[in-house]
Homo-oligomer: A and B are copies of this chain.
């Protein structure tokens, strides 16, 4: 059985209040008493009961990061960055991997004892009642393109990122640019907007835009195979995430095409895999550290002041040209 404050107090011959003071680093404790208490803590292997503490104080010191089952492309990097950013503020992080494709995992985590929740949205998260409407710990959206203006969010400018990526493809001489995206809702995809904008400004007609179900390699594979085996084969494909792009490259090889010679491919996200793939994957890098820091900061603010104004923070992005769009080999 785990020992409690009372056990420690009895062994040290003091009151539980004193033990609590020592454990919590309260300064006004005599050296002698502190020594006795610390010895008792070690001897009894005392560990504070987090539930009791939380029940009393209303604080857990823990944030939850909810990752969707649909595999957020840069989940790994994001998790690492969030853990780090939270650690800087003395907060721990638990990650809730959604089992279901639906966002029900959010409900699960809402009942867990955490101070706040970061929701990594792969697509759009448009629940009927929105994350804020329900009770529970405050929520900050990461990376999602939610139009829900009642919830803090940190994201890149998806339309601008798609436009920049498309312009990169045009810049290396491509003219028949197709796109593969993930449509999460009936709402227009911001990525698609940027893609069209870039082509229109260049005086080109948009190529086909295929919709993948999730941000997974297999989804990119299927979509690209369809794109590349039909007539009017594109000479470039813009993918709304790196896993899609990885799958697209594999599809190109499997139908006998070379990347980038026959078809250029670019993704979004800058996952590590793309730096080792063959060819290396051109992509749009998102500043994950920025995203994590801002999201945690935002959440910390909202935890302390629930009525703070809603923020919509845009993270910077950069096009990273690599082998998969190299014009030189063409």
Contacts and interface: CB of A to CB of B under 8 A. Distances in A.
Interface of A: 2, 45, 47-52, 54-55, 60, 62, 64, 69, 75-76, 79-80, 83-84, 87, 92-97, 99, 108, 110-113, 134-136, 217, 221, 246-247, 249-250, 253, 272-273, 275-278
Given A83-B97, A95-B95, A273-B273, A50 B113 contact: yes
A327 to B, nearest CB: 21
A130 to B, nearest CB: 14
26 contacts: A45-B134, A45-B135, A47-B110, A47-B111, A47-B135, A49-B55, A50-B112, A51-B52, A51-B54, A51-B55, A51-B60, A51-B113, A80-B99, A83-B97, A92-B96, A93-B97, A94-B112, A95-B95, A95-B96, A95-B97, A113-B113, A217-B275, A221-B276, A246-B273, A246-B276, A249-B276
Nearest to A98: B83
Nearest to A136: B47
A64 B135 CA distance: 25
Copies of this chain, complex-wide, total 2
Given A47-B110, A51-B113, A99-B84, A250 B272 contact: no
A247 to B, nearest CB: 6
B94 A94 contact: yes
Contacts of A52: 51, 55
Contacts of A84: 99
A316 to B, nearest CB: 24
A234 B118 CA distance: 48
Nearest to A220: B276
A150 to B, nearest CB: 16
Nearest to A271: B273
A79 B97 contact: yes
Contact of A55 (B55, B136, B253): B55
Contacts of A2: 135-136
A278 B276 contact: no
A110 B2 CA distance: 12
Contact of A112 (B62, B83, B221, B277): B62
